[in-house]
Structure formats: structure tokens, C-alpha cells
Structure 1
């Protein structure tokens, strides 16, 4: 009989934790998409070949207040990202590993810009919904 009660208690504990978390009023995760997509030139090395990128970027934040703050600072974020993309080379835009490094650097610069403006990084992750380079 005791083992039955212990098993019942063990199974009910995770449900109690889930109920507490749901009732906690935890903030929801949101994605802020930068519209329109970022478009510009990169690898400006003096050659005659024009290189162009198009980046569809989304920023992951938690809570409505964070989403509003990111939207408020979208021009600053866009400026940082355009400057970063325009500094890239053919090699840094050419393969999956390089694009992942670029994504991480874009996240870092976005967080730094928001940290300077708001005192905290706010953005948790930066995602490329689409990244086209020519």
C-alpha cells in the first residue's frame, strides 16, 4: 500500500510543477522580424564584380516589453547589421560554417547596441530566415 502512495505522489509532483509554471505568468517568447529584409553590397574589394546579399532576419525576445523595445530600436539594429554585412568577404559568406559565425557576430553586435541603449542585451537569439548571396 505504501508503494502505491509513493508512486502516486511521484507521478503527481511533475504535474504540480507544470501547474505552478503556467500560473506563474511566465513571459512568452516572440520573434521580431526586421522588415523589409536587409539588402546591400558586400566584398567591395575594387573588383568589377558586384556582390549582393539579402538577409531576412528575426530576433527572439521574451515578453511584450522586450518586443516593444526591439521595435523601438529597429533602426539602430538595422544599421549595425548592414554595416556588419557590408564588411564581409566572399569567404565569410560562402559556406554554412561561415554563415553561422556571421549569425553569431550579428547577434553579438545587436546585443551590444541594445545594451548601450537600454542597459541590457534584450535579444536572446538572431535567426536568418533566409540569407541569399550573389
Structure 2
């Protein structure tokens, strides 16, 4: 009988050790889980609080207010990234000057946020180039010497492109026009 007790004792000890280590693993797992939950709530809580309960959460940044031309608040619109289309080759026009022939070479780039607008501009490029050449050809050398005059010409060119696009597609589409090279000779 003594042998049976001796043989049973290691089995009981082994079972007790297994229960003890199993309990330790559970305790570590529960502790780790609680720690991670606390960490997530500390990090995500303020963000969610500002988004969902803005008026009741202190230290939240004020929401961006977008105002239209009439002065009324409107929902901000997330704009798509800009897409550019460069005129190739650059526009070259002769300028009016006191008895001599002068030239203006301008590289133009258009900016839109919709790929369809860029495609539509390509479709109507002959009309756009024609009208811009007529606009540039009507300038004088003296009217292109300072920044304000160049900016005025840029805005006129943008308005011309938007007019062409609106007439052909129903919407202006092009948001801006840039002179990326401007040479008077």
C-alpha cells in the first residue's frame, strides 16, 4: 500500500502543478486584456468624445466652419487632390509694340479636381488654345511688365477657359490656371 501512495503522490503533484500554472496563464491573460482595454479607452476615448459629444467634451478643437458667399454656414466639403494639365507646346503670341515685333511665350497649366474635367479640356483644347492666343495677342508689352497686370491676364485667361468649358460641357470645371513660364522678347 505504501507503494501505491508513493506512486499516487507524483501524479497528484503533477496535477496540482498543472492547475497552478494554468491559473497563472489565465491570470496573466486577464491582466493583459484589462491593460489593453484601458490603453485603448485612454487613447480612443478623447477622439470619440470630440467627434460624438463635442459640446460636452472639454478641450476639443472647434469644428471648421465654412461660409458661402452669402455668409451662411455650409458643411465643409472634402476636396479631391488637384490634377494638372500642361499645355504642350507653350503658347506663343506676337505682341503690339511701337513699330517692332515682340513675342510672348507662356506655358499654361490648368488645375481641376476631377479627371473627367481634365479629359474634357483635352477634347476642347483647340478652342481653348485659339481663344487664349487671341487674348494674349491683344496685349501690349507695357501691359505685361508688372505682377498685377500678369495676374489680371491670368484671371482673364481662366475666365475664358471656364466660359469655353461651360459652353461645351455645362460646367466650368477648371478651378485655376497658372502661368508656369512667362517670357516676353
Given the two structures, how large is their TM-score scaled by the length of structure 1?
0.78
Matches of residues 1-134 of structure 1 in structure 2 within 5 Å? 7-8=46-47, 9-10=49-50, 27-43=80-96, 47-134=98-185
For 2:162 and 2:170, how far apart are their aligned partners in 1? 10
| Contact residue 58 and residue 127 of structure 1 kept, 8 A | yes
Structure 2: segments with no counterpart, 5+ residues = 1-41, 55-59, 61-77
1:18 maps to which residue? none
User: Is the 2:79–2:113 Cα contact (8 Å) retained in structure 1?
Assistant: no
In structure 2, the CA distance between the partners of 1:95 and 1:75, relative to structure 1 (3 Å rule), is: same
Does structure 1 retain, via aligned residues, the 8 Å contact 2:117–2:173?
yes
The CA deviation at 1:114 is 1.1
CA positional deviation for 1:119: 1.2
Task: Return the alpha-carbon distance in structure 2 between the equivalents of residues 118 and 92 of structure 1.
Answer: 33
d(CA) in 2 for partners of 1:128 and 1:121?
A: 19
**Secondary structure of 2:136 counterpart:** helix
Higher relative contact order (CA 8 A, sep 6+): 1
How many aligned positions are there? 120
CA distance in 2 between counterparts of 1:100 and 1:26 reads 25
Gaps of 5+ in 1: 15-24
1:27 CA displacement: 4.1
Structure having the higher Rg: 2
Does the 8 Å CA contact 1:42/1:87 hold for their aligned counterparts?
Answer: yes
- Structure 2 match to 1:17: none
The one-character-per-residue Cα deviations of 1:68-116 (angstroms, maximum 9, x if unpaired) are 1011111111011100000001222111110000000000011111111
Distance 1:28 1:51, change over 3 A: same
Which stretches of structure 1, 4 residues or more, deviate above 3 A after TM superposition? 4-8, 11-14, 25-28
